[in-house]
Structure 1
């Protein structure tokens, strides 16, 4: 019998690529997104496209119920839905920070709460949470985003021990930037322009320009690279917990493994404002 995976945030990027990866591997797939009309693609008997807003408990419960009604079970949940934020913390309205944390941290918690009863009835399951390389190295002007993804990583690792008692495995996939990532554009499109207090203006422009600089070929992970890691985590039987994806994510990991003194020098060289 084919296994079933539910993927949040399936409208584009990592989530959409993951949907196609699992379909290619023979899974039943529940592609969830806030607005199902945004899904484009040919119909498939192993694909259910349904609404699920991770910020709303009723929507989460309805999406999980629709998955179980269609396929009879859920074997794996991929918590991919998330939102970026590139902004000065001091100039960011509280409602925006709350939305980022609600989507990136509380959202996966809601999905996990909703799916655990189904996992327990069938004797186990798998959770794959998509975090960020900001978990390893919190990046400048991404304080709220780093807090939300760092919280998701800590939550994932901590809950993995207790859920192992119920045959539920928890994994994390930690992507770096991808070629399509545009934190500045995402922030403007989703929230409008946050206020940039005058003392920060030059630094914000300097850092925003780094997103436009072309990376070395192959340096950043593609959506397909991340989707492959998500699928690998979903079927892994080795006990591995963490998948870092992208050369930048691996560079961050190496920097963090240095001595405290060397890491402090490295992070200041990368992110500290010029004086």
Structure 2
């Protein structure tokens, strides 16, 4: 029986993916910062355990707990993350570091910790959750988009690095998904003295509302992750959601002025 380790499995995409793989007969190591909030442990072949991607000791403990319970880890899903939005000036250095520590450094640390056993077996799959925000940007998203562009680049480089060792790398790019991204997974900053940015913030709110008016279900992303893991071949990127397909197609075919002009036009509607 195959085993998947999922970070950020307490809700949203992570929980939906845990349920999908468990229903397919997989062992699931569902990791999260607060295991007490999860009911996933009531299911057969699911281990719920603590893992905070910014705490190296928790990464080691979670992997040891998972391998002690199920043996080797066949698939790693790097899903944990959040979005920081607002003017760059509004963010302290600590908040800037927290965004990159969670979305980029944490992802790399978990990957590093799992790779030795995959390399020893010459087999395994790493799935990194990016976003349409790893290919396109929205106003006030300097930090979030910086991290997701980084995930795209590091994943593509790892694809070259690990393919000769029998380890596959996949990138999943969701569009707007019905999760708590606008709640506890959203960090917005706007200082009282930064009124110069207020018109952009207001326009961003309108734009975000339009883009998020018809979000896809987390289960849709879980289906795409299942495809990324199980479909043979060397496809690197998998899009999740009709909006992701549409926007990423536009970004690929339009020049900067045209695409960015379109985003600005949506902001001003």
Q: Could you say whether these structures have the same fold, taking a TM-score greater than 0.5 normalized by the shorter chain as the test?
A: yes
Q: CA offset at residue 20 of structure 1?
A: 0.2
Write the distance in 2 (CA, Å) between the matches of 1:245 and 1:91.
32
CA contact (8 A) 1:7 1:32 kept: yes
Corresponding residue number in structure 2 for 1:86: 85
C-alpha RMSD of the superposition:
2.0
Q: CA offset at residue 45 of structure 1?
A: 3.0
Mean Cα displacement is larger for which, 36-45 or 142-151?
Answer: 36-45
Give the total of aligned pairs: 266
CA contact (8 A) 1:4 1:30 kept: yes
- The residue correspondences of 1:1-275 to structure 2 (distance < 5 A) are 2-41=1-40, 43-183=42-182, 186-188=185-187, 193-195=189-191, 197-213=194-210, 219-260=214-255, 263-271=256-264
CA contact (8 A) 2:139 2:200 kept: no
Q: Which 5+ residue runs of structure 2 have no aligned equivalent?
A: none
Q: CA offset at residue 269 of structure 1?
A: 3.0
CA contact (8 A) 2:91 2:189 kept: no
TM-score by length of 2: 0.92
Write the distance in 1 (CA, Å) between the matches of 2:172 and 2:14.
12
Q: What are the Cα deviations for residues 57-103 of structure 1, in whole angstroms up to 9, with x where unaligned?
A: 11111111111110011000000000111211121112111111111
Write the distance in 2 (CA, Å) between the matches of 1:78 and 1:214.
26
Write the distance in 1 (CA, Å) between the matches of 2:176 and 2:88.
21
Write the distance in 2 (CA, Å) between the matches of 1:182 and 1:241.
25
> Match of 1:172, SS?
strand
CA contact (8 A) 1:139 1:271 kept: no
Q: Structure 1 pair 7/42, CA: closer, same or farther in 2 (3 Å)?
A: closer
CA contact (8 A) 1:10 1:31 kept: yes
TM-score by length of 1: 0.90
Mean Cα displacement is larger for which, 193-202 or 158-167?
Answer: 193-202
Q: Which 5+ residue runs of structure 1 have no aligned equivalent?
A: none
Q: CA offset at residue 254 of structure 1?
A: 1.8
CA contact (8 A) 2:85 2:189 kept: no
Q: CA offset at residue 209 of structure 1?
A: 3.1
